[in-house]
Structure 1
Amino acid sequence: MSATTQSPLERRRGRISGPFLAPAVALYTALFIGPTLYSLYTSFTDWDGINSPKWAGTRNYTQLLHDPAFGSAFGNTLKIVFGVGAAIFVLSFGFLLMLREMRGRRLIRGAIFLPHIVSSIVLAIFWGSLLGLDGLVNQTLQAAGADPVEWLRPSWTMSVVLVALVWINTGYYVTILMAGVDRIPASFYEAARLDGANAWQRFRHVTLPLSWDVTAAAAVLWTITSVKIFEFLLAFGGNQGALPPTYQWNNAMFVYGETVGGVTPMNEFGYAAASAVTTLLFVAVLVVVLRRLMRREPLQF
């Protein structure tokens, strides 16, 4: 509706909303827009965190594109986005289908959701004690007469992290997807049963299409979350540069001459900022592509 056709009440509402929105806009600018623009500037400089930044042009980005460690970090991120994401959504819908027919589903849903609300550091310690040489898994293997396995060897760390991420996040996405599934009228499922549809057909033709908007939003949320995974890998050990956030941390960490987790910090804040900006652009492109691929006309029911 144009300004000339707005009623006096609508014009007054627009004038009143400005002062209420101003604090939120100012906070968003100070905490997100400002740091993002400063990171963009820093990415074109050579800065060690102490001396004044020196303009470096596109050197940081050129070095970044030729660094195999950065490419490996992005490859691991794609494994998390698509591989772990597929496992999470398959398990989430599987739990949803089971919970619809079970009593006490709220209690079960709470138990599934519990790992998501526990601190990442606590979960890393739990998994470390579970899979350590003297952990519960190896004790069980020894009790069965098998030899213990070094589950936490460096070459296996990322695989263990992927499994742990599925375990941690499945309950969260069960809760999100259930919000879309619970709004589907039970009469739709009853009609499908009367038409002879089995469980898979009911899921394919009733559950998935009618909850597609929630599923698409959850997929975008998981994509953004995947690129921000930091604490768990840092606390878990292994190659701490294996993901973009930890790669940036290793390049910018302000500890001179100290080796942490087998990695010597380089204190190159400009280079780390270039990595962060590249990651941000990657996420933006990935989200846009994902939204286009998952775009469907909303179904009214």
Structure 2
Amino acid sequence: MAATAVREPRAAVRGPAPAAQSPLARRRRRLFWPFIVPALVLYVVFYVLPTLATAWISLNKWAGAGPMEFAGFDNYRRLLLDPVFHDSFRNTLTILFVVGGATFAISFVLTMVLRDLAGRKAVRAIIFFPNIVSGIVLSILWGFLFQADGVVNQALRAFGVSHPPNWLGTENLFSVIMIGLVWVQTGFYTTILMAAVDRIPKDLYEVCDLEGANAWQRFRHVTLPLMWDVVGVCAVLWSINAIKIFEFVYAFAGAAGQLPPTKVWNTALYAYAEAFSSGVPKYGSAAATGMVMLALVGLLVVVLRRLFRRDQVQF
């Protein structure tokens, strides 16, 4: 009689049993939506909906009252053909890169100089002072300094310059604005960078001194790598702030109730002029300018986040 093979039933292969959630984890899960919904509602109401409304207005011709007239992309086409917008966009990029480069260069130098300086906290408070005062007040002060008989020209005459330049003339006005923006912004970013440097262990700098590293080598191989993430955050903040700078340029270069010369406009001033000019307001064109600024900010943020992305350094 043939033997019958009896097969044993296979045991079901099961994964590890899910771990039971702790009471604290369950409470956190229940509280997630009650905490997130208010912030989400505020974000949608005060950012998403106005952005969508601005995008819709940019596709219409509208004077601020009465019915809208759908225009498609005519407002954007008008921006591409408007030489004033070209100059404004160029000035925005100049502020973004030239003023930003000078601001960060000076901030890095001040950070290295003040790192071991006695009384650096007091100095940090002094250089941060321009960020406490209103931008309108700073622009008025900056105008007084560069008047024909202002402090700057008096100092130049004291050093033998008999005919100082006309700083408030059209040919020099934008350069003076950029210098003023560097002065205003440097203290803010220096304060942030100094806070990042303060958390770097001093032992690393002592090793650099033992190895005979100079100041540039310490900055390149120790300071900059260990505050790289903070530099990235500062770059993003500057990109956002630079594109929407308005009050300093408007109050410094404009007369009472009048817009500044078009040669010093940036995109923010261009949008303001389109919406609140003395003629018929062009809210569609102003909204299109705002959407261009938003697109530029989004592009810069994405590029900067990729540029400054790297593995986290533990120290």
Q: Give the TM-score taking structure 1 as reference length.
A: 0.91
From 137, 140, 148, give the equivalent of 2:155.
Answer: 140
Letter in 1 for 2:272: W
CA contact (8 A) 1:250 1:266 kept: no
- Does 1:239 pair with 2:261? yes
Compute the displacement of 1:11 (Å). Answer: 3.3
- Does 1:273 pair with 2:287? yes
Alignment partners' CA distance in 2, 1:142 and 1:210: 45
Equivalent residue number for residue 60 of structure 1? 75
Alignment partners' CA distance in 2, 1:17 and 1:135: 58
**Misfit runs of 4+, over 6 Å:** none
Identity %: 48
- Does 1:222 pair with 2:238? yes
From 272, 275, 289, give the equivalent of 1:252.
Answer: 275
From 175, 181, 184, give the equivalent of 1:165.
Answer: 181
Compute the displacement of 1:177 (Å). Answer: 0.8
Structure 1 residues 145 and 60: alpha-carbon distance in aligned structure 2, compared to 1, 3 A threshold: closer
Alignment partners' CA distance in 2, 1:59 and 1:271: 9
Compute the displacement of 1:6 (Å). Answer: 6.7
Alignment partners' CA distance in 2, 1:291 and 1:170: 22
User: Which consecutive unaligned segments of at least 5 residues does structure 1 have?
Assistant: 259-264
Structural mapping, 1:8-157, within 5 Å: 8-143=23-158, 144=160, 146-157=162-173
User: Which consecutive unaligned segments of at least 5 residues does structure 2 have?
Assistant: 1-17, 254-259
> More displaced, 141-150 or 205-214?
141-150
Alignment partners' CA distance in 2, 1:69 and 1:50: 26
CA contact (8 A) 2:103 2:185 kept: yes
Give the number of aligned pairs. 289
CA contact (8 A) 2:115 2:194 kept: no
Q: Give the TM-score taking structure 2 as reference length.
A: 0.87
CA contact (8 A) 2:61 2:68 kept: yes
Structure 1 residues 6 and 169: alpha-carbon distance in aligned structure 2, compared to 1, 3 A threshold: farther
> More displaced, 42-51 or 63-72?
63-72
CA contact (8 A) 2:59 2:73 kept: yes
Structure 1 residues 266 and 188: alpha-carbon distance in aligned structure 2, compared to 1, 3 A threshold: farther
Structure 1 residues 155 and 266: alpha-carbon distance in aligned structure 2, compared to 1, 3 A threshold: farther
Q: Which has the larger radius of gyration?
A: 2
> More displaced, 199-208 or 130-139?
130-139
Alignment partners' CA distance in 1, 2:226 and 2:77: 46
